[in-house]
Amino acid sequence: MMDSSVKIINEWDIVAARQLGRNVAKELGFGIVDQARITTAISELARNIYLYAGQGEIIIEKVENGAKKGMTIISRDAGPGISDLRKVMEDGFSTSGGLGAGLPGVKRLMDEFSIESTLGEGTLIQSVKWLR
Amino acid sequence: MNFRDTMLDNYKEILKTYISDQTEQALYLSEKFSRKLLECKVSPEEMISLHKTSIMELEPDLPESLLLSLDILLEVMMAYGLAYREHQSLRTIQRELINEIEVAASMQQTLLGTQIPHLSSLDIGAISVPAKQMSGDYYHFVSHENGAISVAIADIIGKGIPAALCMSMIKYSMDSMPDDSQAPGDVLERLNRVVEQNVDPTMFITMFSGLYHPENHTFHYSSAGHEPGFFYNSEKGIFEELKAKGLLLGVDKKAKYNEYERKVEVGDVILLMSDGVTECRTEDGFLEVDTLIGYIEKYIQLGAQDIADKVYKELEYLQDFQLRDDFTLIILKRIA
Amino acid sequence: MNISIDVREQELQTTITLAGEIDAYTAPKLRETAFPYTEKQYANVVIDLSGVSYMDSTGLGVFVGLFKSLNANEGTLKLVGLSDRLKRLFDITGLADIMNINSVAEGGV
């Protein structure tokens, strides 16, 4: 199983993370619509790290579950953490503010989504997109 | 076969028709197609990919640059796709909220329900209409063991749900008041302490509290900043304001409320109202007190409930059926 | 339904001049703008209402809030330039007895 990661420190790292995600998505055989969805989700996660945590990393992994193939995007940071997860997962908070799709957007773009966050320790988000 | 299975073929057909001869027919078909897309929740990015596939099959010799430009278009439309999905889910939430408010409004009606007492000497009528779903007006009757009747009318400043919540508190305090504290001034002083302690400092309540003694036909009353009611003196055929001074509930916990007294003769009428009545706005400005009295006078010979209903109808008509404020009117008419 | 709020801060007092309508739609704006001036200690706030054509009970709520806040911080509130209709509103609610209210706008700059 191959995996690779991109450290997110400045805004240009978001592009690198997208590039990595796109390469893996293409390799796995995702169509152009799903490629766009996956890279948009990566952008969103990477931008969150860049804006709110200062630094962290995006890890891309290929996954297999029986006959199913897909890819996982992991976003990990040691930032301040999120105090109210329910609030950030609520609709209508981020897009209207012009900041992007927000975490609910990532959840919609991907097939699986999970988030863990501890105040003062950081946030770990894992999401999976399956190849159909 | 569902729409998604056939949409590539449908779309190719539309494109082909339009490319060969630019008819309005093809444009009309694309309009219908676009509605179908929304109905089947096809996102903008999927549509662009569909377009790319179709055009590549129809026109294999298109320049590379044009096809590449579609990749950019697809990327640019991602945010629209997300906004569209978010809109869908917000619509569901909105529908749920509307349902909840409807349930709350009907609960409020049940919770705040009050029985209009029956007395042989006093005809009582009441009407209360909310401007929005939840009313900020409140009225309450209590029949005491000694035969006296308490009446209270209140207006919670602020409207909608916060006002409704506040009102439930008032209702609870009134219900838990001992039967021996009937004096309107005492009632207001007690409630004032409750409100002062419990309510947000910018929220407050105006209330008029009255007590009718059927054995000597006197009406005692006090006001906490409430719109003064009217007293119709049937012998002289004149209306007088039921003047009473007193501070709003919830401003100063030491506020005192003076009590006033009126002798009520057969045919006399007591009218209590919320400021939705006097603050009623019409095309030419505000409703003047004289105009209001004019309406009341027109119907003063009717039964109490009829007076209330008819006056409401007139004011509703005057405001073009657009209530800006909750409306409550209570009529007490001595008939024997 | 509009309101204009003009704030002039001087050494000894803050004058807030209002024009338009104060109702459920404009009251929050008034509250947000005026509230910070009432939270300083010993603040003297004068509110000129001569340009106010309409005020409903929600507007009244804002003034009670400002009054309470100033009292808590040992400041003073003075309302000037009230029309007869506004004066009546403050009379009925008993607020005229506890607040400093003047129907004439104060001259001078």
What pLDDT was estimated at residue B17?
Answer: 93
What pLDDT was estimated at residue B323?
Answer: 63
Higher pLDDT: B132 or B312? It is: B312
Higher pLDDT: B281 or B151? It is: B151
Domains of chain A by start residue, with CATH? 3-130 (3.30.565.10)
Residue B103, in any domain of the structure: no
Higher pLDDT: B30 or B276? It is: B30
CATH code of the domain covering residue C51 = 3.30.750.24
Tell me, yes or no, whether B77 and B126 share the same domain: no
The answer, yes or no, to whether residue C109 has pLDDT greater than 50, is no
Q: Do C92 and B204 touch (CB under 8 A)?
A: no
Rounded to the nearest 5°, which phi and psi values hold at B209? Answer: -125, 130
Tell me, yes or no, whether B131 and B179 share the same domain: yes
Closest among C8, C22, C12, C3 to C90, alpha carbons compared:
C22
The predicted-structure confidence for B171-223, as pLDDT tens digits, reads as follows: 888 888 887 778 999 999 999 988 888 776 667 788 999 999 999 999 999 99
Q: Which run of H or of E encompasses C60? A: helix C57-72
Q: How far apart are CA B185 and CA B256, in angstroms?
A: 8
On whether any CB of chain B is under 8 Å from the CB of C51, the answer is: no
Q: Which of B95, B124, B144 is the last residue of a domain?
A: B95
Tell me, yes or no, whether B75 and B132 share the same domain: no
The answer, yes or no, to whether residue C81 has pLDDT greater than 50, is yes
Across A53-57, A114-118, B170-174, B327-331, least confident range? B170-174
HSE (CB half, 13 Å, CA atoms) of C87?
Answer: 11
Residue B101, in any domain of the structure: no
Q: Residue B65 in 3-state DSSP?
A: helix
Tell me, yes or no, whether B77 and B118 share the same domain: no
The answer, yes or no, to whether residue B84 has pLDDT greater than 90, is no
- Chain B neighbors of A92, CB-CB under 8 A: 86, 90
Residue C49, in any domain of the structure: yes
ipTM: 0.80
Tell me, yes or no, whether B82 and B159 share the same domain: no
Residue C108, in any domain of the structure: no
Q: Do B158 and C31 touch (CB under 8 A)?
A: no
DSSP string, B22-64: --HHHHHHHHHHHHHHHHTT--HHHHHHHHHHHHHHH-TT--H
Q: How far apart are CA A75 and CA B280, in angstroms?
A: 58
Q: How far apart are CA C54 and CA C20, in angstroms?
A: 7
Residue B173, in any domain of the structure: yes
Higher pLDDT: B107 or B35? It is: B35
The answer, yes or no, to whether residue A108 has pLDDT greater than 80, is yes
- Where does chain A show beta strands of DSSP type E? 3-8, 56-65, 68-77, 112-118, 122-130
pTM over 0.90: no
- Pull the structure tokens for residue C16: 């807030």
What pLDDT was estimated at residue C18?
Answer: 94
- Rounded alpha-carbon distances, angstroms, from residue A123 to A41, A88, A115, A118, A127: 16, 13, 7, 7, 13
Give B289's pLDDT tier (boundaries 50, 70, 90): confident
The answer, yes or no, to whether residue C108 has pLDDT greater than 50, is no
Q: Which run of H or of E encompasses C95? A: helix C95-98
What pLDDT was estimated at residue B159?
Answer: 61
On whether any CB of chain A is under 8 Å from the CB of B74, the answer is: yes
The predicted-structure confidence for B45-55, as pLDDT tens digits, reads as follows: 999 999 999 99
Q: Which of B95, B129, B146 is the last residue of a domain?
A: B95
Q: Which of B68, B95, B122 is the last residue of a domain?
A: B95
Tell me, yes or no, whether B79 and B152 share the same domain: no
CB atoms within 10 A of CB A40: 24
Give B106's pLDDT tier (boundaries 50, 70, 90): confident
Task: Read off the amino acid at residue A22.
Answer: R
Give B278's pLDDT tier (boundaries 50, 70, 90): low
Strand partners, B231: B240, B270
Residue B100, in any domain of the structure: no
Query: Taking a contact as any Cβ pair under 8 Å apart, which residues of chain C between 2 and 31 contact chain B?
Result: 24, 31
Read off the pLDDT of each residue in B223-243 and give the average, rounded to a whole number.
91
Tell me, yes or no, whether B283 and B189 share the same domain: yes
Read off the pLDDT of each residue in C82-100 and give the average, rounded to a whole number.
88
Nearest by CB to A95, from B46, B74, B83: name it: B83
- Rounded alpha-carbon distances, angstroms, from residue B130 to B55, B96, B122, B156, B295: 58, 22, 26, 12, 21
Higher pLDDT: B237 or B137? It is: B237
% of residues, chain C, pLDDT over 90: 38
What pLDDT was estimated at residue A97?
Answer: 45
Our count of domains for chain C comes to 1
Q: How far apart are CA C33 and CA B82, in angstroms?
A: 36
Tell me, yes or no, whether B39 and B85 share the same domain: yes
Task: Read off the amino acid at residue C87.
Answer: K
What pLDDT was estimated at residue C40?
Answer: 87
Range list of H helices, chain B: 3-20, 24-39, 44-58, 64-111, 160-175, 184-198, 275-278, 289-299, 304-318
Q: Which domain holds residue B291?
A: 114-334
What pLDDT was estimated at residue A96?
Answer: 41
Across B97-106, B317-326, C18-27, least confident range? B317-326
Tell me, yes or no, whether B141 and B286 share the same domain: yes
Task: Read off the amino acid at residue A54.
Answer: G
- Pull the structure tokens for residue B106: 């009907």
Q: Do B89 and A95 touch (CB under 8 A)?
A: no
Tell me, yes or no, whether B71 and B147 share the same domain: no
CB atoms within 10 A of CB B170: 23
Read off the pLDDT of each residue in B241-261 and give the average, rounded to a whole number.
91
Read off the pLDDT of each residue in B243-267 and give the average, rounded to a whole number.
92
CB atoms within 10 A of CB B165: 16
Closest among A119, A100, A101 to A109, alpha carbons compared:
A101
Q: Do A32 and B82 touch (CB under 8 A)?
A: no
Mean confidence (pLDDT) of chain A: 88
Our count of domains for chain B comes to 2
Strand partners, A35: none
The answer, yes or no, to whether residue C105 has pLDDT greater than 70, is no
Nearest by CB to B248, from C31, C58, C93: name it: C93
Read off the pLDDT of each residue in B117-134 and give the average, rounded to a whole number.
86
What pLDDT was estimated at residue A92?
Answer: 62
Residue C58, in any domain of the structure: yes
CA atoms C34, C36, C41, C43: torsion sign: negative
Residue B104, in any domain of the structure: no
Give A13's pLDDT tier (boundaries 50, 70, 90): very high
Q: How far apart are CA B81 and CA B45, in angstroms?
A: 7
Read off the pLDDT of each residue in A96-115 and give the average, rounded to a whole number.
79
What pLDDT was estimated at residue A93?
Answer: 58
Residue C109, in any domain of the structure: no
Residue B55, in any domain of the structure: yes
What pLDDT was estimated at residue B284?
Answer: 53
Q: Which domain holds residue C78?
A: 3-102
- Pull the structure tokens for residue A78: 């040691």
CATH code of the domain covering residue B286 = 3.60.40.10
Q: How far apart are CA A33 and CA A20, in angstroms?
A: 17
Q: Which run of H or of E encompasses B281? A: strand B281-282
Residue B107, in any domain of the structure: no
Compute the nearest-CA separation of A120 from chain B (Å).
30
Across A33-47, A112-126, B109-123, least confident range? B109-123
Compute the nearest-CA separation of B105 from chain A (Å).
26
Say what the alpha-carbon torsion angle B170, B171, B173, B177 is, to the nearest 10 degrees: 140
CB atoms within 10 A of CB A73: 28
Compute the nearest-CA separation of B107 from chain A (Å).
28
Residue B133, in any domain of the structure: yes
CB atoms within 10 A of CB A92: 14
Interface of A with B (CB under 8 A): 31-33, 36-37, 40, 91-92, 95, 100-101, 104-105, 108-109
Q: Tokens 């996954």 label which residue? A: A63
What pLDDT was estimated at residue A1?
Answer: 44
